[in-house]
Structure 1
Amino acid sequence: MFSIIQAAGWPIWPLIICSVIALALVVERLSSLRAARVVPPKLLDEVLSVTRANLPAPDVVNKLADNSILGRVLAAGIRAVIADPRITEEALRGAFESAGRAAVHRMEKYLNTLGTIASSAPYLGLLGTVIGMIEIFASQSPSGSNPAQLAQGISIALYNTAFGLIVAIPALIFYRYFRGLVEQYTLDMEQAANRLVPHLLRFTSPRATAA
């Protein structure tokens, strides 16, 4: 590996840095976007069960918010009803939407960086290719070619092109995968909020509900 890096020249170092960053981001997102940490499958049913008779105590709501990203969204709606028992349906939905936007922002953390690496890695490889071509042309002279410089130029051109694609393709695959995962989780949270809204409106005053 070290000999390949030496043959590829200095243009490969930005690609190596990008590959390390991309790997770290993929591992972090795989951990953070697990279903258990975002939308636990039975969490909504548990919330509906706990709030069947009355609203939970603040410490229970805090535990719900710490449970997962979905838990934060559901806790935001419960807190809105606790804070204002006369809250309207529109205001309650607004509280859920505000919490949902924050949740989406949290789920999309680092995805722009990963997407940037996926799109820029081929260009970094192309930069190495251009530099390699310059080395190739520089090896040519009226008195003949320099075999060592010619071989170095070919190595720089080929290794950087290949390494740029090696970095870009997995990064793009994981970027698309995480984007789809975030969209699915967003839909799940919207559906959970829509189920919880009429359930929580039972605890508001009749005039607020009618409004």
Structure 2
Amino acid sequence: MILANIVLNTFSRGGPIMWPLLLVAIVAIVTVLERIFWWSMIRLRRQQSKVSEVYSLLKNGRIEEAAKLARASKDPVMKMIWWGLNHHETSLQNALQVAAGFELKQAGRGLAVLDTIVTLGPLLGLLGTVTGIMNAFHFVGNEELAAVKVSGGIAEALIATATGLALAIFALIPYNYFGRKLANLQFDLETAATNVELLLQSRGREIRLGPPTARYAEAASPER
């Protein structure tokens, strides 16, 4: 209860700029929590052993079995392989690129929001600093109100600045973390795509498994 009163008191002393800062903070928290949940689900779905099994099947020319095994998986790498093996409108390379692009788009969701917050937080804090100092100087010269109002304006400026910087720091850490996770997933997708192409080229085979049963977006996990 005491802590809540301190927070509310500090918030009210931060001035009007605290409201947009609060909105930005809510967006940041929701985005970070959503990304944590998404990456946790991806970690549970990764099936490196099955990816190796698909490579083995492709190496032995058992393409239909490899496609069937990949189709049943929710691993983003396996789903990319499945789409590549079941393409019919374009080349294998293009089909793999389309599927990898879809997965990377899902993985990169929210990074632009966090990147914006890293920049926007300090700017809003700076705006609060300016308005707080302006309020402080507005009462300079009035001996009755000067001491209280000037100190209140300075407090408003400092609170807004600190809040904006705290928001930027809060968003920067998960931004870099999720960016690294995205880079790792991109590397895994590119590596898998290259391996599939090399294995099929080494067999000198064309992929003709018939049209896929659904578009790739529909084949993606419904939990997305």
TM-score bracket, normalised by the shorter chain, equals 0.7 to 0.9
- 1:204 aligns with 205
More divergent stretch after superposition (67-76 vs 17-26): 67-76
More divergent stretch after superposition (155-164 vs 92-101): 92-101
Gaps of 5+ in 2: 1-6, 208-224
Tell me if the contact between 1:38 and 1:68 (Cα under 8 Å) persists in the aligned partners: yes
Partner letter of residue 180 of structure 2?
Answer: G
Tell me if the contact between 1:8 and 1:159 (Cα under 8 Å) persists in the aligned partners: yes
Alignment of 1:110-189 (within 5 A): 110-141=110-141, 145-189=145-189
TM-score by length of 2: 0.77
- 1:47 aligns with 54
- 1:209 aligns with none
- 2:28 aligns with 22
Shift of 1:63: 2.3
> How far apart are the structure 2 equivalents of 1:107 and 1:205?
31
In structure 2, relative to structure 1, the CA distance for the partners of 1:132 and 1:40 (3 Å cut) is farther
For the aligned residue pairs, the C-alpha RMSD in angstroms reads 2.6
Tell me if the contact between 2:67 and 2:82 (Cα under 8 Å) persists in the aligned partners: no
**Secondary structure of 1:42's partner?**
helix
In structure 2, relative to structure 1, the CA distance for the partners of 1:22 and 1:40 (3 Å cut) is farther
- 1:75 aligns with 82
Matched, 1:109 2:109: yes
More divergent stretch after superposition (165-174 vs 30-39): 30-39
**Secondary structure of 2:94's partner?**
helix
Shift of 1:197: 2.1
Shift of 1:39: 4.5
Count of aligned pairs:
197
- 2:213 aligns with none
> How far apart are the structure 2 equivalents of 1:205 and 1:6?
68
> How far apart are the structure 2 equivalents of 1:33 and 1:41?
16
Shift of 1:143: 5.1
Matched, 1:10 2:4: no
Tell me if the contact between 1:121 and 1:164 (Cα under 8 Å) persists in the aligned partners: yes
- 2:222 aligns with none
> How far apart are the structure 2 equivalents of 1:188 and 1:74?
12
Partner letter of residue 3 of structure 1?
Answer: N
TM-score by length of 1: 0.82
Extract structure 1 runs of 4+ deviating beyond 4 A. Answer: 49-52, 57-61, 142-145
Q: Percent same amino acid among aligned pairs?
A: 26
Tell me if the contact between 1:37 and 1:69 (Cα under 8 Å) persists in the aligned partners: no
Shift of 1:194: 1.3
Shift of 1:31: 2.0
Tell me if the contact between 1:38 and 1:70 (Cα under 8 Å) persists in the aligned partners: no
Partner letter of residue 68 of structure 1?
Answer: D
Shift of 1:134: 0.4
> How far apart are the structure 1 equivalents of 2:53 and 2:22?
46
> How far apart are the structure 2 equivalents of 1:13 and 1:6?
10
**Secondary structure of 1:9's partner?**
coil
